[in-house]
Amino acid sequence: MDKRIALVTGASRGIGRAVATALAASGCHVLINYRCRQPDAEATLALVQRAGGSGELCPFDVADGTACEQSVAGLLQTHQRIDVLVNNAGIRSDSLLVFMKAEQWQQVLATNLSSFFNVTQPIVKQMALQRQGRIVTIASTAGQTGVEGQTNYAAAKAGVIGASKALAREVAKRGVTVNVLAPGFIETDMTAGLSRKELLAQIPAGRFGKPEDVAAAAVFLCSEAAGYITGAVLNINGGVYT
């Protein structure tokens, strides 16, 4: 298959779905990862195909190191390579730190930060060997500014920024770029329960972002044209001060 192979984690819904669809439209064969919502992942696959692209479902839990190792090995065996990785899967579990349960801390760190190691580590080896690759990780404004009630989420998102900057330096000579997108408030299930009126007042652009706003930037950073951009953090937040 001549198409570039792209793995998008958490692609059953929201930002991941938009990224998967846009990468497919740009000519990638998309590996659609998700955790449990198969009907949603099938809907993403239908959108990918409607965009004229191709893809397949690959469910695994990005927080589970063994599951990631086995699943990535299976994908590499089938496709020989993965050219593009978008680390998008994420959860939040908000609470003031004084009330936060250890489980909330651990789940959010495992899904949003350890997942970076679990998924990227087996893929970057192969990218370095083939001397090309694109890795984009979705962080958040929360990891840049801190947000009250989100010490776990902010720690994880700040963590992926640091990890990406370090990895970018490790693999730059190998033709692999490693970048971060830092969205503000984007209209997805993750933000569905938030008080819009209060939040809109903080956004200079006067609106929430759309998943497609993030997807457009992801497609650019994963393109051939972005080969000299690495270790960058690109804000997609409507002008929120970071």
Question: Which is nearer to ligand NDP, 132 or 212 (by Cβ)?
Answer: 212
| Bridge-based pairing state of the strands 84-87 and 4-8 | parallel
**Radius of gyration of the CA atoms of the chain, in A:** 17
Min. distance of Cβ 7 from ligand NDP in angstroms?
Answer: 11
Question: Which is nearer to ligand NDP, 227 or 239 (by Cβ)?
Answer: 239
Question: Which is nearer to ligand NDP, 154 or 171 (by Cβ)?
Answer: 154
**E-assigned strands of 127-207?**
133-138, 176-183
Interface ranges with ligand NDP (CB under 6 A)? 9-16, 33-37, 40, 61-63, 88-91, 111, 138, 140, 183, 185-186, 188-191
Min. distance of Cβ 110 from ligand NDP in angstroms?
Answer: 8
Active site residue 153: yes
Question: Which is nearer to ligand NDP, 129 or 194 (by Cβ)?
Answer: 194
Look up residue 105 and give its two tokens.
């801390």
- Given a contact cutoff of 8 angstroms between Cβ atoms, the answer to whether 86 and 19 are in contact is yes
Cα dihedral 178, 62, 71, 3 sign: negative
Question: Which is nearer to ligand NDP, 43 or 172 (by Cβ)?
Answer: 43
Dist CA 150 CA 170 (whole Å)? 30
At 38, which amino acid appears?
Q
- Given a contact cutoff of 8 angstroms between Cβ atoms, the answer to whether 222 and 86 are in contact is yes
| Bridge-based pairing state of the strands 4-8 and 28-32 | parallel
Min. distance of Cβ 19 from ligand NDP in angstroms?
Answer: 9
Dist CA 119 CA 179 (whole Å)? 15
Min. distance of Cβ 81 from ligand NDP in angstroms?
Answer: 22
SS3 category, 27: coil
- State the catalytic residue, choosing from 34, 153, 228, 241: 153
Min. distance of Cβ 54 from ligand NDP in angstroms?
Answer: 19
Phi/psi for 18 (5° steps) reads -65, -40
Provide the annotated active-site residues: 153
